[in-house]
């Protein structure tokens, strides 16, 4: 089983974009992989450091949303980032090898500074956001990072930082399993010659690679990678639209929350933008450019989608009717989630215990990576 890691910032209750872009995928992945899912509270501080009065409640809300969505602590590890100090430890170590220019050119750095002018994001912490995210990820040596489209650039810089780390600090040198015992001796003999030290026996990976390169070997060799480059896992809806047609996002105030009541869901969907060319009820619409239809594809049955497409293109139905059908699908999808939320809201001690146990498990896994990292960096 490979490992999987992902996280979400506690900036409020989770919405359908978080769910369809990531969380619902996590619920599936927990059955197949060794999964670590966390609440990125430090990341919330990189932008919202001035007013932290809601932070604790927001962390709680995300924990409740995780559990209500179906993350099962028996199958995956759920924890709060700040409860595992190794995240900052690896962050600081990776900071030694990360060029400033890499961080400055991450698109969200300039974009968010522009968008969130009132927050003063000319801080060390905000510049370091993608570095901390890289540390979050690499700390668990995962194969996959399941996130929405907007996080792709962050996983890309994670891969670059991992590559730089691995080339500076390669892991152990190995000959292929079929190598004859004398082959390693031959490599060492060559390494002694290169070093001009006939008695030397302790060689680092760089020295062994160089020597192996210059030795006629029957077998190949490889170098163990300490921080493997992870891959992004996207869902079929990596950029779910909100009620104004833009990407669903808390900062656009266009969200439908996993915990919204049925009347809230219905009234929010009623205001949702549609095909702008369909002005009057009699105009035929084009579902392929309509954000409401994008949501139908996610939340409605094939049959309802077919009915909506036909009604829209022939002007047989109005947008209000189409949105009503969509609301039925959303309400139905959220019912089991909301039922679980009520359970966990009523059992706060159980949630505390899940998070405490998750932090213990995550810290234990993080310690394995940190031990390898310290060793190859030369700290021990």
Residues in touch with ligand TYM (CB under 6 A): 6-9, 17-18, 21-22, 40, 43, 133, 136-137, 145, 147-148, 150-151, 154, 238-240, 247-249
Comparing CB distances to ligand TYM, the nearer of 17 and 311 is: 17
- Cβ 129 to ligand TYM shortest distance, Å: 7
Q: Which residues of 311-321 are buried (b: 16+ CB within 10 A; e: fewer)?
A: bbeeeebbbee
Determine how many CB atoms are found less than 10 A away from the CB of residue 295. 26
Q: Is 10 annotated as a binding residue?
A: yes
- Residue placing its CB nearer to ligand TYM in the complex, 138 or 226: 138
User: Is 247 known to sit in a ligand binding site?
Assistant: yes
- Give the nearest distance from C-beta 45 to ligand TYM in angstroms: 12
Phi then psi for residue 369, to 5 deg, are -65, -45
How far apart are CB 22 and ligand TYM at their closest, in Å?
A: 4
DSSP string, 29-71: HTTTSEEEEEE-HHHHHHH--S--TTHHHHHHHHHHHHHHHT-
Distance (Å, whole) CA 202 – CA 374: 18
Q: Give whichever of 57 and 214 is closer to ligand TYM, judged by the CB atom.
A: 57
Cβ nearer to ligand TYM, comparing 9 with 309? 9
- Cα 259 to Cα 39, 50, 71: the distances in Å are 18, 27, 16
Question: CB of residue 75 vs ligand TYM: minimum separation in angstroms?
Answer: 19
Residue 17 is labelled as binding a ligand: yes
* Strand ordering across the sheet containing 231-233: 76-80, 34-39, 3-8, 144-146, 231-233
Q: Give the residues across from 8 on adjacent strands.
A: 39
| Segments of the chain assigned E as strands | 3-8, 34-39, 76-80, 144-146, 173-175, 221-223, 231-233
**What is the C-alpha end-to-end distance of the chain, expressed in Å?**
30
Tell me whether residue 311 is annotated as binding: no
> Is 11 assigned a ligand-binding role in the annotation?
yes
Q: Which is nearer to ligand TYM, 73 or 241 (CB)?
A: 241
Answer yes or no: is 146 a known binding residue: no
Tell me whether residue 224 or residue 294 sits nearer to ligand TYM (CB atom).
Answer: 294
For the bound state, the minimum distance from the C-beta of residue 255 to ligand TYM, rounded and expressed in Å, comes to 8
9 known ligand binder: yes
User: Minimum CB separation from ligand TYM for residue 378, in Å?
Assistant: 27
Binding-site members for L-tryptophan are: 136
Q: Which residues are annotated as a binding site for ATP?
A: 9-11, 17-18, 148-150, 240, 247-251
């Amino acid at each position: 089983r490979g490992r999987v890691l992902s996280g979400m910032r506690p900036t409020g209750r989770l919405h359908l974009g978080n769910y369809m872009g990531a969380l619902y995928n996590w619920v599936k992945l927990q059955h197949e992989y060794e999964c670590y899912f966390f609440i990125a509270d430090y990341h919330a501080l990189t932008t919202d450091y001035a007013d932290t009065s809601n932070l604790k409640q927001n962390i709680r809300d995300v924990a409740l949303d995780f559990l209500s969505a179906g993350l099962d602590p028996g199958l995956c590890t759920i924890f709060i980032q700040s409860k595992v100090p190794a995240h900052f430890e690896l962050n600081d170590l990776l900071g030694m090898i990360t060029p400033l220019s890499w961080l400055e050119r991450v698109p969200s750095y300039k974009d968010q500074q522009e968008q969130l002018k009132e927050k003063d994001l000319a801080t060390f912490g905000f510049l370091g956001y993608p570095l901390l995210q890289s540390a979050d990820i690499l700390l668990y040596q995962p194969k996959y990072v399941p996130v929405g489209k907007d996080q792709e650039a962050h996983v890309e810089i994670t891969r670059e930082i991992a590559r730089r780390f691995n080339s500076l600090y390669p892991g152990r040198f190995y000959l292929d399993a079929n190598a004859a015992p004398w082959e390693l001796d031959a490599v060492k003999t060559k390494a002694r010659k290169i070093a001009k030290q006939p008695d030397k026996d302790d060689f680092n990976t760089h020295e062994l690679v160089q020597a192996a390169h210059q030795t006629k070997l029957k077998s190949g060799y490889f170098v163990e990678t300490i921080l493997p480059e992870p891959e992004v896992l996207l869902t079929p809806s990596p950029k779910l639209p909100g009620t104004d047609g833009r990407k669903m996002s808390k900062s656009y105030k266009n969200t439908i929350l996993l915990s919204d009541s049925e009347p809230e869901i219905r009234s929010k969907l009623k205001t949702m933008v549609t095909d702008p060319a369909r002005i009057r009820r009699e105009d035929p619409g084009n579902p392929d450019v309509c954000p409401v239809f994008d949501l139908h594809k996610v939340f409605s049955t094939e049959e309802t989608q077919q009915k909506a497409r036909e009604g829209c293109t022939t002007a047989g139905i109005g947008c209000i009717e189409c949105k009503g059908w969509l609301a039925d699908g959303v309400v139905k999808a959220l019912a089991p989630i909301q039922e679980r939320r009520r359970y966990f809201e009523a059992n706060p001690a159980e949630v505390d215990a899940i998070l405490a146990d998750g932090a213990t498990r995550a810290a234990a896994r993080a310690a394995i990576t940190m031990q390898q990292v310290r060793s190859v960096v030369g700290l021990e």
